[in-house]
Amino acid sequence: MTTCSLSFPPQINLAKLPTPMQPLHRLSERYGVELYVKRDDLSGIALSGNKIRKLEFVLADALAQKTDTVITCGGAQSNHCRATAIAAAMLGINCRLILRTPDPSNPPPLEGNILLDRMAGAEIVWITPDEYKQRDEFMAREAATLQTSGRKAYTIPMGASNALGALGYIRAMEELVNDIANSLGGGNRPCTIINAVGSGGTSAGLILGAKLFDVRARIAGVNVSDDRAYFVRAIGDICEQAIADYHLDVEFSRQGDVEIIDGYVGEGYGLSKDEELDLICDVARTEGIFLDPVYTGKAFFGMIQELKRNPKCFGEQIIFLHTGGIFGLFPKADQLRPLLEIR
């Protein structure tokens, strides 16, 4: 197996690894490609999804700094925030979540990830979308306030998407080397790896990991918020910071290496069109795999739309990275009901 020269910093073991690679036989036949899913939704149960790989490095750093409280941010049904809250409970430290909602005086109901956040003991601070634009400054103020009361706070960026967090998916590429060799017909065959992009850290890790482990993979992200320009910049920043921080011997170009498939944000972040939810139901019925409405459902929908336009646009073999988020389905029950013909 190809190895890389990176000496990884300390990490804690949170995820159940390696996660399996699963072929999608019926969907592959339908769309005329070899389609596989990397099941990172199976990296745990409540503590599951792609965020755990990043948190293994980020929380190791937090513990090394004698932190007693972690602060992070996200949307109301943030998978990252739920994973952080549960991991913090496992590690015996406090967690404060800065969550975005249109009206903080009337927060969303206690369901899905919010329910799990609360059950794990997280403190939730609700802020408006405008306040969320200054989320890093907001978290810094929260940390300073805790500091004055004698507590030691550690802030984690949205999605744990920084150079340190990206190491989680650089290391995941080591798994994918084996998956590609064992599932895609042996050898280092060319393929396309598609993932949902919400903050950019997973994409950054995959891009750098493919270079470091010499994987012949095209990394394509489907953005679920913002636009292509935003994520070329965000992912580029993370990649360049990781290259500098960890002295990675790779060549990187924002325009050449960061591929964003734009146009599938739909109604907006966390908002679902019926055609997206219909596809989620179709995948569940056809392959027994449950996508989530915020991230993987939009990304899978975008991938399928692109395949319908051009069946060869991603080559013959596609790996879809399932980043978890099943708990986000439950708040969509009323919208799903007519699609399932439930009376």
What is the pLDDT tens value at each position of the chain, 343 positions in all?
Answer: 455 668 899 999 999 999 999 999 999 999 999 999 999 999 999 999 999 999 999 999 999 999 999 999 999 999 999 999 999 999 999 999 999 999 999 999 999 999 999 999 999 999 999 999 999 999 999 999 999 999 999 999 999 999 999 999 999 999 999 999 998 876 677 999 999 999 999 999 999 999 999 999 999 999 999 999 999 999 999 999 999 999 999 999 999 999 999 999 999 999 999 999 999 999 999 999 999 999 999 999 999 999 999 999 999 999 999 999 999 999 999 999 999 986 4
Shared-domain flag, residues 40 and 69? no
Instruction: Spell out where 217-292 has E strands.
Output: 217-223, 259-261
Q: Model-level pTM?
A: 0.96
Distances (CA, A) of 327 to 47, 179, 266: 11, 27, 20
pLDDT of the residue at 298: 98
Closest CA to 269 of 127, 32, 108, 77: 77
pLDDT of the residue at 343: 46
CB 101 within 8 A of CB 88: no
Picking from 143, 160, 177, the residue at the C-terminal end of a domain is: 160
By CB neighbour count within 10 A (0-12 exposed, 13-18 middle, 19+ buried), where does 7 fall? Answer: exposed
- Per the domain annotation, does 10 fall within a domain? no
Shared-domain flag, residues 296 and 167? yes
**Helix, coil or strand: residue 164:** helix
Shared-domain flag, residues 44 and 181? yes
Closest CA to 316 of 206, 190, 218, 185: 190
Name the residue with tokens 């601070």.
Answer: 125
Shared-domain flag, residues 332 and 253? yes
Shared-domain flag, residues 212 and 316? yes
CB 100 within 8 A of CB 137: no
End-to-end alpha-carbon separation of the chain, Å? 54
> Phi and psi of 116, rounded to 5°?
-65, -35
Picking from 104, 139, 160, the residue at the C-terminal end of a domain is: 160
Residue of 7, 28, 48, 78 marked active site: 78
Ramachandran assignment for 13, one of left (phi > 0), alpha (psi -120 to 50 degrees), beta (any other): beta
CB 280 within 8 A of CB 288: no
Picking from 130, 160, 190, the residue at the C-terminal end of a domain is: 160
The total number of structural domains that make up the chain? 2
Domain that holds residue 263: 21-49+162-340
pLDDT of the residue at 74: 97
- Per the domain annotation, does 7 fall within a domain? no
Name the residue with tokens 């405008």.
Answer: 130
Shared-domain flag, residues 137 and 245? no
Whether residue 78 lies in the annotated active site: yes
